[in-house]
Amino acid sequence: MRASHPRANRTFYLFLLPTLVLFTLCITLPAIMGITLSFTNSVGFGEWQFTGLTNYLALFSDPAIRASYAFTIGFALVTVVLVNIVALLLAVGLTAKIRAKVALRAVFVLPMVISGIVIAYVFNFLFSNSLPQVGQTLGISSLETSLLANPNLAWVTIVIVTAWQAIPSALLIYIAGILSIPGEVYEAASMDGASSLRRLSSITLPLLAGYVVINMVIGFKNFLNAYDIIVGLTNGGPGTSTRSVAMTIFTGFTGGDYAYQMANATIFFLIALVLAVIQLRLNRGRSAF
């Protein structure tokens, strides 16, 4: 006999309907229209004609597009590694037997609640004014000029500021992971004479492997969308050395390359979709770690 499943109350669907309508009008339909226009020569208004895969073929031969993807992927890889190393070390320290650890956790989480553009403008002032003054005072020639104006080092400032804002969210996940490890495991290891470093390498890190993977995937996906901090720090400069994919797309929308950048946005969307699927699979299998 087939098991009966309780039918959902129709009231639930009524509450869902406004959200579904808004999502369709504000997200789904614009996305479909954008993907359609990526196969045209549209400039965002007026008449247009279908051009097939012309825009997509041009993307792969455009050095500016390749440079933006190279910068974005390289920046995301460096930042996600830095964020997870620092966050993991802080999580280990903030879950140890130290005084005022609850207050310290609150302090380290503060950057997460501040707007990215505000953080960028504050650090812009520091890198452009305060740090050069310190470099002149100490006689450090490499710091006497703004790092933001150096095409070889400007990306470093973006990594530092982005990591400063992103570390708290990764930190919270690692703290939750460490607190979920049974205390009896550490007590047994201590009775066997294991040192703190040995407990960290043999117990904490292996049991946090799932959290590390999830943090890496989430962080990498988020850093690919870098925009506000880059705008506030370098605005894509010097030249176009720190222009991300998101900046390239938005700049093209207002520069007459609407359909071309729509094709770029479609490719970028597919990359983000793949990462989202990976993240979903990892979240479903989280208990298996």
Give dist(CA 39, CA 53) in Å, integer. Answer: 6
Residue spans per domain, the chain = 22-288
Amino acid at site 68: S
| Whether 274 contacts 195, CB under 8 Å | no
Q: Helix (H) and strand (E) counts for the chain?
A: 15, 0
**Predicted TM-score (pTM) of this structure:** 0.84
The domain 22-288 is classified under which CATH number: 1.10.101.10, 3.20.20.370, 1.10.3720.10, 3.90.79.10?
Answer: 1.10.3720.10
Per-residue pLDDT of the chain (289 residues; tens, 9 = 90+): 455 555 657 787 888 888 899 989 988 898 899 899 899 988 877 788 898 899 999 998 899 999 999 999 999 999 999 999 999 998 888 887 767 667 777 777 788 888 888 899 999 999 988 888 888 888 887 788 888 988 888 999 999 999 999 999 999 899 888 888 888 887 787 787 777 788 778 888 888 888 888 898 889 988 998 899 999 999 988 888 899 999 999 888 877 788 999 999 999 989 888 888 887 777 665 544 4
163 Cβ contact partners less than 8 Å away, ≥ 6 residues apart: 79, 82, 83, 86
